């Protein structure tokens, strides 16, 4: 009886990473890793499963009610698959709050799960580069985090015409909503949620949704005018003396001193979807007309560690998703041509050479090359075809003639060039050829 074959498709909104996809993913994250390490940040990781209550506390209604994968484990605990890393890193920091020297500079590359409608830039499983610093209360930490975000974009090959960081401050928007819009906490949350969606809405739909939160027409106008202020406009606005505006001005001053201000712009419509942010918030935008969208974001959260510890500790950081970053790299033609994963193929002349082939491959590996040794005897033409299909640049062969003379033959697969060298010069010959490629 025929059994029905299972589907080869991965679960909706997730991806298989074939080796060529892994190579690109590793290149992107290793570039980010190197940048973060160059600023002295250290890598950490945590578990995929956390208690549900960790997200229920502060991650925000949309993430918790609509996007979280959660269930009861066999022991009756209510657990969730991590949708983001910030609660986990805050828990880990809180657990060692008295022993880790501060500031704490950490980064990680977790895979995260959110039940979202799969679409451009959004999947159900993604990998997210997280960079966070804990224990600095001033905007100088915000400055360092923004500098790292910019440096990563530059290290991926972007330049300042390709992206812009839009910066705002939660305290400022919050105070504006209290004073000018006279909103209570739930009203503010509803308005923030709507502003956060503005990129996806037409203007009249945006206004309609704001009116559904209870705002009058005048207040909607005043809110929209406020979110459109530039720095000069903010300087003339009555909110300029509030603590959020002072922080923003101070941050922009420091960005200018560090010559980073050309990568940044004030954008008071940035709120960020997560509830825990308390100060600076920012989103990185792609400037290309084909991909005008937010690439990643972050901000300051001064009371997340306090969920786990009696000692409060401020944090600031960002999360950068692999999906939007790859879209950015494709749009700007920044996907690199990566070096071949295998550099040398050691062909097998016949069954009598099995031992020699393995020895030879071992010697080449010891010199630092990545080497495949032919496993079983098959026709040489088939072996060369395999090396060609795998894009292996150099094939090495020792037949009876070469063996008799203690020499070895090499073939460069792209040019077809061949030569025979003494065994002792093999590694130098491979190195010279690979260097020329």
- Residues of this chain that interact with ligand HAM (CB under 6 A) are 84-86, 114, 116, 122-123, 126, 128, 130, 132, 273-274, 294-299, 317-321, 323-324
64: nearest Cα among 76, 81, 77, 49: 81
CB of 321 to ligand HAM, least distance (A): 3
CB of 181 to ligand HAM, least distance (A): 24
User: Which residues, other chains included, contact 8 with Cβ-Cβ below 8 Å and sequence gap of 6+?
Assistant: none
**Residue (122 or 390) nearer to ligand HAM, CB:** 122
**Residue (21 or 238) nearer to ligand HAM, CB:** 21
The answer to whether the beta carbons of residues 428 and 436 sit under 8 Å apart is no
**Residue (114 or 254) nearer to ligand HAM, CB:** 114
CB of 49 to ligand HAM, least distance (A): 17
**Residue (88 or 383) nearer to ligand HAM, CB:** 88
CB of 194 to ligand HAM, least distance (A): 17
- The token pair that represents 311 in the structure block: 């000692």
Strand, helix or coil for residue 52: coil
**Residue (322 or 402) nearer to ligand HAM, CB:** 322
The answer to whether the beta carbons of residues 70 and 48 sit under 8 Å apart is no
DSSP for 316-362, please give it.
EEEEEEHHHHHHHHHHTT----PPPS--EEE---SGGGHHHHHHHHH
Strand 49-51: give its sheet, edge to edge.
Answer: 49-51, 78-81, 70-72
CB of 114 to ligand HAM, least distance (A): 4
- The beta strands (E) that lie in 135-187 are given as 163-169
Q: Look-up: residue for tokens 């001033």?
A: 138
**Residue (315 or 393) nearer to ligand HAM, CB:** 315
CB of 121 to ligand HAM, least distance (A): 6
CB of 403 to ligand HAM, least distance (A): 55
**Residue (127 or 226) nearer to ligand HAM, CB:** 127
Output helix, strand, coil percentages for the chain, rounded to the nearest 5.
45, 20, 35
């Amino acid at each position: 009886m025929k059994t029905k074959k299972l589907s080869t498709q991965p679960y909706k909104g997730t991806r298989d990473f074939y080796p060529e996809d892994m190579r690109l993913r590793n290149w992107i994250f290793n570039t980010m890793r190197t940048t973060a390490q160059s600023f002295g940040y250290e890598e950490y990781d945590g578990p995929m499963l956390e208690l549900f209550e960790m997200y229920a506390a502060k991650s925000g209604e949309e993430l918790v009610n609509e996007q979280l994968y959660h269930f009861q484990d066999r022991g009756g605990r209510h657990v969730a698959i991590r949708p983001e890393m910030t609660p986990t890193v805050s828990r880990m920091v809180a657990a060692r709050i008295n022993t880790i020297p501060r500031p704490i500079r950490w980064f990680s590359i977790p895979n995260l799960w959110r039940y979202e409608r799969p679409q451009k830039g959004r999947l159900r499983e993604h990998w997210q580069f997280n960079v966070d610093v804990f224990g600095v209360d001033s905007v100088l930490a915000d400055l360092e985090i923004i500098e790292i975000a910019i440096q990563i974009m530059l290290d991926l090959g972007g330049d300042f015409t390709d992206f812009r960081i839009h910066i705002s401050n939660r305290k400022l928007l919050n105070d504006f909503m209290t004073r000018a819009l006279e909103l209570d906490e739930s009203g503010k949350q509803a308005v923030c949620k709507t502003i956060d969606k503005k990129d996806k809405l037409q203007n009249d739909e945006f206004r309609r949704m704001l009116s559904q939160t209870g705002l009058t027409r005048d207040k909607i106008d005043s809110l929209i005018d406020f979110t459109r202020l530039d720095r000069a406009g903010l300087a003339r606005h009555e909110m300029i003396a509030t603590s959020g505006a002072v922080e923003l001005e101070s941050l922009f001053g420091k960005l200018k001193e560090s010559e980073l201000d050309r990568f940044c712009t004030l954008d008071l419509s940035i709120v960020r979807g997560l509830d825990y942010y308390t100060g600076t918030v920012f989103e990185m935008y792609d400037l290309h007309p084909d991909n005008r969208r937010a690439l990643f974001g972050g901000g300051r959260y001064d009371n997340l560690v306090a969920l786990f510890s009696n000692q409060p500790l401020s944090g600031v950081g960002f999360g950068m998703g692999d999906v939007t970053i790859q879209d950015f790299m494709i749009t700007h033609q920044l996907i690199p041509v990566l070096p071949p994963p295998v550099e040398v193929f050691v062909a097998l002349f016949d069954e009598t050479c099995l031992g020699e082939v393995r020895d030879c491959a071992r010697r080449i590996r010891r010199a630092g090359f990545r080497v495949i040794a032919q496993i079983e005897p098959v026709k040489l033409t088939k072996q060369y075809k395999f090396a060609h299909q795998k894009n292996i640049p150099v094939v090495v062969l020792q037949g009876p003639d070469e063996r008799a003379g203690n020499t070895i033959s090499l073939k460069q697969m792209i040019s077809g060039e061949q030569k025979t060298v003494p065994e002792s010069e093999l590694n130098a010959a491979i190195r010279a050829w690979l260097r020329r490629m």
